[in-house]
């Protein structure tokens, strides 16, 4: 099934026994940028399961701008994610950066994230066609909608029909916000593809106080879900501290999104 088909053929992607993306129920994925410790993830999961948030995020292989910045806990982080996931019955999504990591990550996680910096890593995309897990494909930093859909097509055409697209902001001239959330692309993608589309307001805007309005706009615009960064001690996050919500703010945000979801005929 190609990425671009009749929009009324909306695909629903099962990421665990009880969580699917693309149906009437919106899916909120929450968690820190980086998995730092068991106690951090335990606090996140126990807050988020009551929010309710339907899935957990957390990077263990991190695409850091500087090679000297913390690169992630690797397998130790995967073990933390898997334990917390099991304990709280929350599926987990985590980033895969290289073909060599696919098998290991797929053994622990429910969904594999392709980061913006790898959206056109075509060999990685081809290999993910055989990963046996759903893929969360993030839009490249400066990728056109056509390039984004073609990247999805690489995964689909290599055998994996379960691709969720994620708009996470694109680069522009103004650096007041980290990126520019392209809501036009979200609306366009909802017409162009049957694949679910979610929005990452955290990386789009880069400042915690601006995450909530963008999250609301994304839902009003037809997004099938959100992926939002949050942390028990936001200022202490090892990466992306400036955009992390506190767990209390995350719970409040999910609550405040309810009426917006209802207004567009969706549920949280």
The secondary structure of the chain in percent helix, strand, coil, rounded to multiples of 5, reads 40, 20, 40
Residue 240 touching Mn ion (CB under 5 A): yes
Tokens of 131: 């990963």
Which of residues 187 and 241 has its CB atom nearest to Mn ion in the complex? 241
Residue 90 touching Mn ion (CB under 5 A): no
Which of residues 229 and 266 has its CB atom nearest to ligand PEP in the complex? 229
**SS3 of residue 235 by DSSP:** helix
Give the one entry of Mn ion, ligand PEP, none that residue 178 binds, where binding means its C-beta sits below a cut-off of 5 to 8 angstroms depending on kind: none
Give the one entry of ligand PEP, Mn ion, none that residue 167 binds, where binding means its C-beta sits below a cut-off of 5 to 8 angstroms depending on kind: none
Which of residues 149 and 266 has its CB atom nearest to ligand PEP in the complex? 149
CA angle 228, 24, 139 (to 5 degrees): 40
Shortest Å distance, C-beta 39 to Mn ion: 20
Q: Which residue ranges make up the site for ligand PEP (CB under 6 A)? A: 33, 59, 63, 115-117, 138, 168, 203
Q: In the set 13, 33, 55, 97, which binds Mn ion (CB under 5 A)?
A: 33
Shortest Å distance, C-beta 9 to ligand PEP: 27
Torsion of CA 55, 142, 223, 151, to 10 degrees: -70
Alpha-carbon separation of residue 200 from 89, 142, 158, 205, 217 (angstroms) = 23, 15, 26, 9, 12
Tokens of 264: 């567009």
Residues pairing with 29 in the sheet = 55, 227
Give the one entry of ligand PEP, Mn ion, none that residue 168 binds, where binding means its C-beta sits below a cut-off of 5 to 8 angstroms depending on kind: ligand PEP
Shortest Å distance, C-beta 169 to ligand PEP: 8
Which listed range, 130-138, 146-154, 155-163, 237-245, lies at the site for Mn ion (CB under 5 A)? Answer: 237-245
Shortest Å distance, C-beta 259 to ligand PEP: 27
Contact 41, 35 (CB under 8 A): yes
Closest to 114 (Cα-Cα) out of 132, 85, 134: 134
Which of residues 224 and 229 has its CB atom nearest to Mn ion in the complex? 229
Chain residues binding Mn ion by CB under 5 A are 33, 240
């Amino acid at each position: 099934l190609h990425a671009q088909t009749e929009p009324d053929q909306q695909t629903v992607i099962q990421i665990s026994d009880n969580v699917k993306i693309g149906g009437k129920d919106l899916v909120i994925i929450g968690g820190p940028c980086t998995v730092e410790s068991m106690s951090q993830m335990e606090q996140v999961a126990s807050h988020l399961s009551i929010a309710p948030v339907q899935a957990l995020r957390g990077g263990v292989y991190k695409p850091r701008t500087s090679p000297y910045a913390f690169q992630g806990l690797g397998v130790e982080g995967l073990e933390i994610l898997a334990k917390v996931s099991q304990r709280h019955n929350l599926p987990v999504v985590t980033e895969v950066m290289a073909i060599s990591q696919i098998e290991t990550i797929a053994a622990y996680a429910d969904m594999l994230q392709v980061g913006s910096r790898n959206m056109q890593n075509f060999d990685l995309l081809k290999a993910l066609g055989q990963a046996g897990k759903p893929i969360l494909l993030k839009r490249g930093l400066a990728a056109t909608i056509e390039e984004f859909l073609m990247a999805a097509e690489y995964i689909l055409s290599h055998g994996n029909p379960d691709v969720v697209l994620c708009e996470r902001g694109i680069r522009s001239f103004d650096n007041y916000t980290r990126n520019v959330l392209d809501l036009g692309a979200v609306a366009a993608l909802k017409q162009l593809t049957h694949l679910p589309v979610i929005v990452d307001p955290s990386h789009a805007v880069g400042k915690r106080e601006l995450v909530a309005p963008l999250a609301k706009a994304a839902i009003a615009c037809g997004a099938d879900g959100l992926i939002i960064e949050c942390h028990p001690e936001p200022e202490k996050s090892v990466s992306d501290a400036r955009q992390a919500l506190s767990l209390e703010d995350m719970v409040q945000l999910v609550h405040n999104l309810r009426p917006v979801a209802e207004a567009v005929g969706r549920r949280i």
